[in-house]
Amino acid sequence: MNLIGLQTLARREVKRTFLILNQVVWPPVISTLLYFFIFVIGFGRAVGRMEGLPYVQFLVPGLIFMNVVEASFGEAAASLFLMRFSSSIQEILVAPLSYPEMVLGMLSGSTMRALVIGNLILLVSWPFGGPLPHSWPWYLALIVVVSVLFSSLGLVMALWAESFDQLSIASTFFITPMVFLGGVFTAAGAAYRQLPAAFRSVVFYNPMLYLVDGFRTAITGHSNPFSIQIAGLLLPMWTLDLVVATLGATLAFLLAMVLFSRGFKLRT
Amino acid sequence: MKAGIPPAATAAEAIALSDLVKCYGSLRAVDGISFTVPEGEFFGFLGPNGAGKTTTIHCLVGLATPTAGSIRVFGNDVVRDYRAARQLVGLCPQEFNFDRYLTNRETLLYSAGYFGIPRNECQTRADELLKRFDLWSKRDETSVKLSGGMKRRLTIARALIHRPRILILDEPTAGVDVELRLELWRFLKELNEEGLTIVLTTHYLEEAETLCKRIAIIDGGRIVALEDKDALVARLAGHRLRVVYARPLDRPIAIPGIEVEGEGQQVTVQVKDPGQIATILAQLATFGQILDVAVDRKNLQDIFLELTSRSRSVAPETLAGKRLS
């Protein structure tokens, strides 16, 4: 096992993050502050409580989730794509690194960025009445799992894309809409009740719903009161949160591993 | 460091290619080539653009996966024992491929890291290499600000950071001016004298003549010549004498021991020894009034044409048979 090689790859990703602070670290902080300005200071009183939580407590876990997703996907996708684009990926391909080492090295880099940004959002929300994690271990573990999920997808996109334009397809058409519809700003229950009966169950097919709820549960200690019936079993929402997160992360990770081990667009 | 444990049995064979084939779709970019490079040799790998040089190099260093055949580096198969094999090889790629987020010193340190060398063990070596290749004053800048020659030297320093025993240079002097070329040649000669095995691809015959001990010529994915540089140059190099007569000749040119090509007013003579040119010219003058004379040195292109036309006319069945096997 080339552990030093793996660490060097992760270190390279972290270094990249700190060299492009204005692109990747300050924007999430500033947008979080702007969301507070609009939703907490502006609408907060009108919104009142949501799913039994004060609105700021409801909102912060969602914002952390959203930024963890963006940081993980963005780091993995942009970094690997730029390496392919500039051929600097060759430096890594000629080194004695196995495919799992390459993937793990890149994923640890983007997961570290996700951890930094998630906690930064937590920190800037705190003076505005934001919550501190109800369970630190669950909160940190979720960041890691969700980050592995979206970093792996980022790697897959970076291999697939042939241009920056193609690279943006996933976030523009899938990730961002699904995150926004996944209950970051509004309760899933509210959306559920507003939709025509035929579309109601669609809400629950959005995997982001469970990931957001996972964050909310870990941070505030309150899960979505919905229970979901699958194959005759009435499952509380938080169990599904765990299943979606771990299953999603495993599948995405395996997909990235398969593409790497085939040398897909890496080795000719 | 790690690159110091050769498998004793095959230590003398730095590189062994055996029936290497690399296909891209229906294109056979490398079509069954075999050769070995002993340790310590300066080996030239020549061929025109698209002949398969870079593809072969890419198979050797791990940037491409061979379709068939095998490559061994000090006895380690580059696919099966890739870790051991890659540890022993340093690559200077044709195109600059530096990481844009790293300074020049970091370029060396991170590369060492990818090769599994702890940071505290490679700092001194990185500084030595930066000084040796005259990059010390640029150590904290990024590669973007370096001149072409400096970038080229940085690729060599980077290739050497993990103490490989083989250095592979893919067209290091393409597009480099004369002064820089001479400087690079000096560095490469020094490294080879220190015991490093060097494989150089180029399409400049002069470069191969100056540096290499043995030369392989590849064309259309096949080896068309593989021998000692001196033997190859003696056999194939030479001069070409072109003569234009004032009027069409009334009798054919017949000079014993000299082969004359062409007809009408213009003829061409291949001359091995430049000392003969004057004699041959005098003999040619006896056949008619000479209007114009041109002498040029045969270049690699001519040698290619000779070798490839010969390999295609002499043994097409053998080659076809080889392809099927």
CATH code of the domain occupying B238-297: 3.30.70.250
For B23, name the nearest residue in chain A, comparing CA atoms only. Answer: A268
Burial, B80: exposed, middle or buried (Cβ in 10 Å; 0-12, 13-18, 19+)?
Answer: exposed
Chain B residues close to A13, C-beta within 8 Å? none
pLDDT single digits (tens) A161-190: 999 999 999 989 999 989 888 888 887 767
**Gap from B85 CA to chain A (nearest CA, Å):** 8
List, for residues A193-235, the tens digit of each pLDDT value: 777 777 777 788 889 989 999 999 999 988 877 777 777 778 8
Pairwise CA distance, residues B230 & A94, whole Å: 33
Distance CA B250, CA B228 (A): 44
Q: Are A60 and A216 in contact (CB under 8 A)?
A: no
* pLDDT the model gives residue B300: 60
CB-CB under 8 Å, A268 with B62: no
Residues A42 and A140: their CA atoms lie apart, in Å, by 30
pLDDT bracket for residue B318 (50, 70, 90): very low
Are the beta carbons of B65 and A9 separated by less than 8 Å? no
Please state the length of chain A.
268
A235 φ, ψ (degrees, to nearest 5): -100, 130
Contact B24 A268 (CB under 8 A): yes
- Would the CB atoms of A82 and B100 count as touching at under 8 Å? yes
pLDDT band, very low/low/confident/very high, at B310 (cuts 50, 70, 90)? low
What average pLDDT score do residues B232-238 get? 74
Distance from CA of A77 to the nearest CA of B (A): 16
Q: Flag whether pLDDT at A255 surpasses 60.
A: yes
Q: Please, what is the average pLDDT of chain A? A: 89
Q: What is the per-residue pLDDT across B69-110, written as a single tens digit (0 to 9) for each? A: 999 999 999 999 999 999 999 999 989 999 999 999 999 999
Searching chain B, which residue's CA lies closest to the CA of residue A80? B99
Least confident of A240-254, B111-125, B200-214: B200-214
- For the domain B8-234, what is the CATH superfamily, name and number? P-loop containing nucleotide triphosphate hydrolases (3.40.50.300)
3-state secondary structure of A104: helix
Q: What is the pLDDT of residue B321?
A: 35
Closest among B119, B139, B202, B100 to A20, alpha carbons compared: B100
The ranges of chain B annotated as CATH 3.30.70.250 are 238-297
Outline which parts of chain B fall under CATH 3.40.50.300. 8-234
Top-confidence residue, B173 or B112: B112
Range of lowest pLDDT (A6-20, A128-142, A208-222, B203-217)? B203-217
**E strands, chain B, where?**
13-24, 27-38, 42-46, 68-73, 76-77, 89-92, 166-170, 197-202, 214-219, 222-228, 239-245, 260-261, 266-271, 290-297
Q: What is the helix (H) or strand (E) element at residue B250, kind and residue range?
A: none
CA distances from B189 to B47, B123, B192, B266 (A): 22, 25, 5, 43
B40 touches A at CB < 8 Å? no
Residue of B84, B100, B113 lying closest to A8 (CB–CB):
B113
For Cα atoms A145, A150, A156, give the angle at the middle one, nearest 5 degrees: 130
> Cβ distance B168 to B62 under 8 Å?
no
Quote the Cα angle for A115-A121-A123, to 5°. 100
Q: Is the ipTM of this complex over 0.85?
A: yes
pLDDT(B18) > 50: yes
